[in-house]
Amino acid sequence: MSDGRMYVLRVFLVEDSPTIRQNLAAALEELAPVQIVGWAEEAGSAVAELQRQPPPCDLAIVDISLRSGSGLDVLRALQQANSSLHRVVLTNYAVTRLRDDCLALGAERVFDKSTDVEALAAYCDMLAARFG
């Protein structure tokens, strides 16, 4: 942007824990140029929202364990729809096998909830700079 303001990344959270959702939103909005524009607790409602046209966000942050379905279902649906939406995974289960599955389904990165929130914020900052 020519006026010197950084682009504010529109983020959609796919997370079933209200506490984690609130804490993550607060942390990301403090650490990066991010605005949380929506959320879903279940795979089906997440897919319905994320496949709207125009897309409701620039980035989807997807947890694996959801109230109904899983984050893998969300990633698979977006991949099958050839969605250009940026997406990353934030999970407590960032083991190698799951990380590989997520990347194969179109996730750009996989972050661990307990150790990678600052790395996720840095990723959001980098992505916002690319949009700006």
Q: Is the pLDDT of residue 122 over 80?
A: yes
Where along the chain do its domains lie?
Answer: 9-131
Which residues, including other chains, have CB under 8 Å from residue 5's CB and lie 6 or more apart?
none
Over residues 23-36, the mean pLDDT reads 96
pLDDT digit string (tens) for 42-57?
999 999 999 998 889 9
Rounded-to-integer distance, Cα 13 and Cα 89, Å: 10
9-131 CATH fold? Rossmann fold (3.40.50)
Over residues 77-88, the mean pLDDT reads 95
**What is the reported pLDDT for 5?**
67
**What is the reported pLDDT for 53?**
87
**What is the reported pLDDT for 2?**
42
Mean pLDDT, the chain, rounded, equals 93
pTM given for the model: 0.94
Transcribe the chain into DSSP letters: -TTSPPPPEEEEEE-S-HHHHHHHHHHHHHHSSEEEEEEESBHHHHHHHHTSSS-S-SEEEE-SB-SBSBHHHHHHHHHHTT---EEEEEES---HHHHHHHHHTT-S-EEETTT-HHHHHHHHHHHHHHH-
**What is the reported pLDDT for 55?**
87
